[in-house]
Chain A
Amino acid sequence: MKDIVSVDHLRVEFATDSGPVVGVEDVLFTIAPGETVCVVGESGSGKSVTSLSLMRLVEFGGGTIVAGALRFRREDGTELDVAAASPAVMGEVRGNEIGMIFQEPMTALNPVFTIERQLTDGLMLHKGLSQAQASARALELLKSVRVPEPERRLKQYPHELSGGMRQRVVIAMAMACEPKLLIADEPTTALDVTIQAEILALINRLKRENGMAVLFITHDMAVVAQMADRVVVMYRGKTVETGTVDQIFTAPKEDYTRALLAAVPKLGEMKGKPAPERMRLIGDESARAARVAPVARKPQVLLEVKNLTTRFPVKGGILRRTLAQVHAVEDVSFTLNVGETLALVGESGCGKSSCGRSILRLVKPTSGEVWIGGRDIGALSPYDLRKARADMQMVFQDPFASLNPYRRLKDQVAEPIVNFGLANGAALKARVEELFDRVHLPRAFLNRFPHELSGGQRQRVAIARALAVNPKLIVADEAVSALDVSVQAQVLNLMMELQEDLGLSYLFISHDMAVMERIAHQVGVMYLGRIVEIGSRAAVFDNPTHSYTKQLLSAVPIADPTKRRFADDLAFKPIKSPIFPLGHQPAPSVYTEVAPGHFVLKD
């Protein structure tokens, strides 16, 4: 069979004020009919530029294909030189012979048009259908992507649909004209893990039923392992390695591929290991040597949370009265020992972030107690609470947003020290330098501004800032989620190193089960504001007992192509709404101790 796509030494440049910048250079791969090719790479590797070039959409972003060939075999068997095709021909190909789906389902649909209009306009354009025929086909499409109540959805607007539902609509749109090639650019990155599993399964089924080829762009090696027939690894605008998925995962030839794979945690690989382990990093032998030792000393409780409940009002009406309440955190209790990590995992909206913020009193809990180092945080006066904040610091998800773009890094790290009056003058300078050393940032960075640093470096600054006041507890809210996998591994290793050296306790809030399996001592699974299961890492991961924990773990893609799990349609129970009418008194959380220290919520 002849390839339907061949990309040969592609080079794309972007015009900027300071001359052309290379987006990709020397990209080469092919796609055979009916095959899934995954293009994988970290941010800036040029994987999206490649996929946009194939549709010639790259020119709308200021890019130009300056060299190389992009060939697409059209439906009539002729070969189209995509780089040289006229806009009219590209108009025929786009949406008709090549469909495309995008990362962000929240913004991929036009908010002011109905679902029906957005599904039918392509059909009427490409297939010459009448409005009625197109509407009938749109209904069929919604059924094929398993959108519940398809008739009603057609008349709805995008904002009335959930994220997962919208991504199904986007896929239906891309599939409308039965393209031979589907380009999926990070289609599940913005989705929760169960929704991701459903969407991956859906793409697999549609591919099988329609015999179409899929070009799948992702940064996630676990998704690659689950989806790919063949893999293209990209790095800095170049293809580094291509091969079948088994070759790439079992016998990678290039160092970069090996490093990339090493940094990826595989769910289940920690089975039977007593303590957390550092992330694997090739070339960083210290990581291998310094395995995190089990906590030898007698466990000592640092943080104790008792019956914590946080509700947010939903206001409305003429007088802006409270009409209902979001039960963000509902009767949550746990303890965290000195020098240990507790992972709070769950999907978006489960209340894990609200829980972290309530503990730090960044939001005021409705009820419950939080004890840190033997003090009841809730009972402190505003003055004492301010002083107590030195003990508890936070690292946020987005290192781009959590640093002030107008201040030098040294001033940002010094700020909390000055705030708490811990040091000044030469001592302050020495302390900031020491903190930079501590997080392995060169001292040359002291005078820089945030925009001069990469994402990983910025997150190191954020960590240094949190460490500045010698806290006992650090709440890390998705602190590594925005980072590339190799950078993520480095930052996690740094955090584990700091934990060993300084005896820090981490409350790690994350959606990433595979990472949490590696680094956590204790794991709490949250669902609808409650902890549904909590216990040691081994207990929760090796013996998941609550139905939600099981569902969650079964949805996690495993970075191992021999363990594929998304062949057939999946339909997980959608998460219920946490909004309840005023005066609703939920039952307290009651747990069964299934094993010593392993608690499961009674339903």
Chain B
Amino acid sequence: MTYVVNRLLSVILTLFLITLVTFAVTNILPGDVAMMIMGTQSNEAALEGLRQSLGLNDPLIVQYGRWIGGLLTGDLGNSLIFKKPIAELLVQKAVASAIIVVMSMTIALALAVPLGVWAAVHRDKWQDTVSSSASLMGVSLPDFFWGIVMILVFARWLVWFPSSGIVEPSEDFLGALRYAFLPSLALGLGLMAHLTRMTRSTMTGILGQEFICVARAKGLTERTVIWRYALGNAIGPVITIAGLQIGYLFGSIIVMESLFGYTGMGWLTYQALLNRDLPLIQATVVVIAAVVMITNLLVDLLYVLIDPRVKLG
């Protein structure tokens, strides 16, 4: 329990630092929020009036305090371009992106773990070469290339999945999954490479250990030895890498969602950056940081279930 409290405290501290940095950077950026709202043609008196009412003339510390207060109460202000409350936008887009993140990670693990195990079991044989070439190809080609390939193969030629667009999961859950599938698959192929390599290297190490020999000496089948005895020990580091990749995913979805016209968090971030929607940028950065950190915390907690030697305390 102390461990969890400990980790939560460190997450909170990090988030605080992130809000500081985000706030500082967005304030240093050139550009006037009032002018962005009213347009460059508006007169100076009206601009000044708006600045006054938005509190832009207050000292920075006061502005920061107001922003943090808003964050904590769920009031993130209004988006300048969408003219809607940011909180509402974020919730809707985050659900859409969560589908992609979960789906791409599931695809990546479902491909990487068997491939890595296969390579480790047949170490230094042709299977190993095939596996490492496959994963090397996955990582060396950029995500958007896979996106284009997916659109060509599955949307244009096979016409199994839509090439672009989004469906609200609350309206049609299966439809939402269908729309999310191609961008997820493209992202998953990119994620797979590291996970395959990690699986292969931890499995190779575990397979050389004495308890594997002991398990075989007990007469257990190779299937039990590899998939239960060895993988049970090898999966931990793979999960850790998967957790760290969640952060990397939030960068990748910006491109991928735009490519597939999938209006999720990535797309939202892109729009915010393009239009200098400062309040929206600030909010998305903080939310993404929080999600990444909480995922990694959950991964560490998951470790306790996987490995009994890890104690929280």
A157 contacts B213, CB within 8 Å? no
Q: Given A107-B209, A318-B2, are A112 and B307 also a contact pair (CB < 8 Å)?
A: yes
Taking a contact as CB atoms closer than 8 A, the residue among A93, A95, A111, A318 that contacts B220 in the complex is: A95
Give the residues from 1 to 36 in chain B that come closer than 8 angstroms, CB to CB, to chain A.
2, 5-6, 9
Taking a contact as CB atoms closer than 8 A, the residue among B6, B209, B216, B220 that contacts A121 in the complex is: B220
Interface size on B, residues (CB 8 A): 25
Q: Given A112-B306, A113-B232, A318-B6, are A93 and B219 also a contact pair (CB < 8 Å)?
A: yes
Minimum CB–CB distance for A370 against chain B, Å: 37
B210 contacts A104, CB within 8 Å? yes
Q: B83 within 8 Å of A by Cβ?
A: no
Could you tell me the distance between the alpha carbons of A109 and B5 in the complex, rounded to whole angstroms?
Answer: 33
Minimum CB–CB distance for B231 against chain A, Å: 10
B224 contacts A121, CB within 8 Å? yes
B308 contacts A157, CB within 8 Å? yes
Taking a contact as CB atoms closer than 8 A, the residue among A99, A110, A157 that contacts B215 in the complex is: A110
Q: B233 within 8 Å of A by Cβ?
A: yes
Q: B214 within 8 Å of A by Cβ?
A: yes
Q: A387 within 8 Å of B by Cβ?
A: no
Q: Given A94-B218, A95-B219, A122-B219, are A111 and B233 also a contact pair (CB < 8 Å)?
A: yes
A110 contacts B219, CB within 8 Å? no
Minimum CB–CB distance for A306 against chain B, Å: 39
**Residues of B contacting A430 in the complex (Cβ-Cβ under 8 angstroms):** none
Q: B59 within 8 Å of A by Cβ?
A: no
Q: B221 within 8 Å of A by Cβ?
A: yes
- Considering the complex, give the chain B residue whose CB is closest to the CB of A104: B210
Could you tell me the distance between the alpha carbons of A170 and B216 in the complex, rounded to whole angstroms?
Answer: 13
Q: Given A93-B219, A126-B219, are A159 and B309 also a contact pair (CB < 8 Å)?
A: yes
Query: Which range holds the interface residue count of chain A?
Result: 35 or more
Q: B313 within 8 Å of A by Cβ?
A: yes
Could you tell me the distance between the alpha carbons of A233 and B6 in the complex, rounded to whole angstroms?
Answer: 58
**Residues of A contacting B209 in the complex (Cβ-Cβ under 8 angstroms):** 107
Could you tell me the distance between the alpha carbons of A122 and B218 in the complex, rounded to whole angstroms?
Answer: 6
Q: A55 within 8 Å of B by Cβ?
A: yes
B218 contacts A60, CB within 8 Å? no
Minimum CB–CB distance for A90 against chain B, Å: 8
Q: Given A95-B218, A159-B309, are A109 and B6 also a contact pair (CB < 8 Å)?
A: no
Minimum CB–CB distance for B212 against chain A, Å: 8
Q: Given A112-B233, A121-B224, are A91 and B214 also a contact pair (CB < 8 Å)?
A: no
**Residues of B contacting A422 in the complex (Cβ-Cβ under 8 angstroms):** none
Minimum CB–CB distance for B198 against chain A, Å: 17
- Considering the complex, give the chain A residue whose CB is closest to the CB of B208: A61
Q: B274 within 8 Å of A by Cβ?
A: no
**Residues of B contacting A99 in the complex (Cβ-Cβ under 8 angstroms):** 217
- Considering the complex, give the chain B residue whose CB is closest to the CB of A183: B217
Give me the interface of A with B, judged by CB distance under 8 Å. Answer: 55, 57, 60, 90-96, 99-100, 102-104, 107-113, 121-122, 125-126, 157, 159, 170, 173-174, 176, 316-318
Q: What are 19 pairs between A and B in contact, CB < 8 Å? A: A57-B213, A90-B219, A91-B219, A91-B220, A92-B219, A95-B219, A100-B214, A100-B217, A102-B213, A102-B214, A108-B211, A111-B233, A112-B307, A121-B220, A125-B218, A159-B309, A173-B214, A174-B217, A318-B9
Additional pairs, 10, CB under 8 Å, beyond known A55-B217, A112-B232, A121-B224: A57-B216, A60-B213, A91-B221, A100-B214, A107-B211, A157-B308, A173-B214, A176-B218, A317-B2, A318-B5
